[in-house]
Amino acid sequence: MSDKVVPDPPHETTTPLEEALHAEEMVRNREAIKRALDFYLCPDPAKPRRPSTMFLVHPGIDTESLLAHACESLASASAAASNFANELTGAQRSTALGIQQIVMLAELAVNRALDRVDPQT
């Protein structure tokens, strides 16, 4: 059976330009794979968080002044929540009083810290 009806396919030959393009594509693929693996397996260390400078507390303010201001702010928030709770009924009143209690507990903690900074003898 030497008579073939279907001819052999032509041998694939590549030109130097095609080989160069293929090699360049392989390099790009390897680089993309490396970047993807590095992104997921070796993430960059977390950058330190930079606070917003819109509202900035002056770095030279002493701790006692900061605590005193925080205490006054918490006292105001506690009074506002208490007054608001008086206008409500039922579950909403309970929620507002719960918020007021949390603020009051924070105020107590700040007062204790303030006592440690400047003991009242």
Are 110 and 70 in contact by the 8 Å Cβ rule? The answer is yes
Q: 62-82 pLDDT, tens per residue? A: 999 999 999 999 999 999 999
Q: Is residue 1's pLDDT more than 60?
A: no
Residues contacting residue 99 through CB under 8 Å, at least 6 positions apart? 81
Domain boundaries, the chain: 63-117
Q: Please write the tens of the pLDDT for every residue from 5-57.
A: 777 777 777 788 888 888 899 999 899 988 888 887 877 777 777 777 788 88
**66: nearest Cα among 113, 108, 100, 121:** 113
Among the ranges given (20-24, 67-71, 88-92, 110-114), the one the predictor scored with the smallest mean pLDDT: 20-24
